[in-house]
Chain A
Amino acid sequence: MMRIFDPHIHMTSRTTDDYARMAAAGVRAIVEPAFWLGQPRTNPGSFADYFDSLIGWEPYRAAKFGIRHHATIALNPKEAGDRRCLPVLDLLPRYLDKDGVVAVGEIGYDSMIPEEDEAFSAQLAMAVEHGLPALVHTPHRDKARGTQRSLDVVKESGIAPGHVAIDHLNEVTVDLVRDSGCWMGFSIYPDTKMSPPRMVEILKTHGLERMLINSAADWGVSDPLLTKETAEAMLAAGYTEDDVDRVLWRNPVEFYSQSGRLDLSDLDDAGARGAEPTFEGSSILRGGG
């Protein structure tokens, strides 16, 4: 069975049915970037509890399905524009030291206002200080200019381009990022962003190097299995199984391994640590204690 590493998926918003389907489809490892929840938060404490979940409860839940979960932590671009949330930046260093945190992210722009500049630059500096890669979200509105401006800020920060993934790219923005030396992230969505056939066309044009494919599944209309569907579209287009493995496993492993914290050991034993094997799956499948 093919192995899939989804480098960007918001499992907090997904159900155990999704975990079961993902495991059955070959998803063995995921990275969950800190992002917004649709409903804007209004204070730093709300973020602290969310970050705790990303390094506590969610990896535990994933492990019940044999899936290894890592996270990226940041004040996201959608909420960085709210002054009430800027103190979240003071919370971050503590979380960026954690074992399960493999990058700073999602950072970047939403509306390209000065508050977002401040948070973006400060968090790129934190990535450099903690020796972590950075995951950069690109805005959905005014995307091309937002992507160029993001690359400018990345360059100015001094972080190595190879330590940066610029995400949610499409046919219009891929060239800019490829030329910058940053990794190229593509979110495959049912209706918006990218589709599997369009993704295959991009791979044909731009090659497999530094390419990251994710489902970015969250609380909106999205599908955690579109990574697999893209893999199948690649095979149908004549790519080999090794090509698929490169894009959907080895590339994300290479990118996040730069953190020195990606732990994919004993994947088959996931969930067994510190626990009796007899309760594998039970407390969650039964609805909790």
Chain B
Amino acid sequence: MTESERLRAALAAEPGHDVRAREWLADALARIVERPETVGRSFAAAGRTVGRAPLADAPDWTADEAARALLLAALPPDRVADEAAALYRYGDANEKRAVLKALPALPVGAAAVPLLHDAIRSNDARLVTAALGPYAGHLDQAMWRQAVLKCVFMDVSLATVDGLAERADAELATMLAALAEERAAAGRSIPDDAVALLTTLTGEKKDA
């Protein structure tokens, strides 16, 4: 089952996904295949039609995010990267987040890395979080570490960072330890999950 099939099934299984929402989505998808330039208006309107609640069968996705991922996946493959960049550039925060979450399943290679950089530069935890999904495999290690550290700084749960255990390294441990030290000097602490990560990283280093 492809990611699109999974999201489509999860949307269809929602009690709130009524005839109107179903028909709207089917029409929008058919229109994008014929006239890809229609994706912008459909992308903006998705939440008003399919709703914004989390999906029971795909709990990491809301209905509007899933619908937007389907709209992106319906684009001709040679236009996806450009359209995704434009939809992100002119998107509101929910649209931006949907683009970021859809990236791993889109045929864009590493072309969308600048979108991750933009999201990580923001101070919106919803965007920083969405930038650290599976597509963050395209980020270089230095940027990825900074993004993880930013999550800790913003009190965003590290559970949302894809592949954290595999990718966390000694340099990240050094950075986390420095933040912990700075916080301790101010009588504050770092979040529990960051403490746990630091313990794991420094423990592994001792074992090695």
Contact = CB atoms under 8 A, between A and B. Distances in A.
B144 to A, nearest CB: 15
A274 interface: yes
Interface in B148-166: 150, 153-157
Contact of B123 (A52, A98, A288): A288
| CB-based closest 5 A-B pairs | A279-B155, A97-B44, A55-B92, A283-B154, A274-B126
Contacts, number: 72
B153 to A, nearest CB: 5
Interface-centre pick from A57, A59, A260, A274 (highest chain B CB count, 10 A): A274
A56 interface: yes
Name the interface size band of chain B. 20 to 34
A57 B124 contact: yes
Contacts of A273: 52, 62, 126
Given A97-B40, A99-B47, 20 more contacts: A55-B92, A56-B93, A60-B124, A95-B90, A97-B41, A97-B44, A99-B92, A99-B94, A275-B129, A275-B156, A278-B155, A278-B157, A278-B191, A282-B154, A283-B123, A283-B153, A283-B154, A284-B123, A289-B153, A289-B154
A288 B130 CA distance: 18
Contacts of B153: 283, 289
A182 B142 CA distance: 57
Name the interface size band of chain A. 20 to 34
Interface in A84-103: 94-95, 97-100
B20 interface: no
Contacts of A260: 48
B96 interface: yes
Contacts of A100: 92
A261 B129 CA distance: 26
B105 to A, nearest CB: 19
A276 B156 contact: yes
A276 B155 contact: yes
B154 A279 contact: yes
Interface of B: 40-41, 44-45, 47-48, 52, 62, 90, 92-97, 122-126, 128-130, 150, 153-157, 191
Contacts of B124: 56-57, 60
A273 B33 CA distance: 31
A55 B96 CA distance: 11
Nearest to B150: A289
Given A56-B124, A289-B150, A97 B155 contact: no
B126 A60 contact: yes
Contacts of A98: 44, 92, 95
A56 B96 contact: yes
A87 to B, nearest CB: 15
Nearest to B152: A289
23 contacts: A48-B90, A55-B93, A56-B92, A60-B93, A97-B41, A98-B44, A99-B48, A260-B48, A273-B52, A273-B62, A274-B130, A275-B125, A275-B156, A276-B125, A278-B191, A279-B125, A279-B155, A279-B156, A283-B125, A283-B154, A284-B123, A289-B128, A289-B150
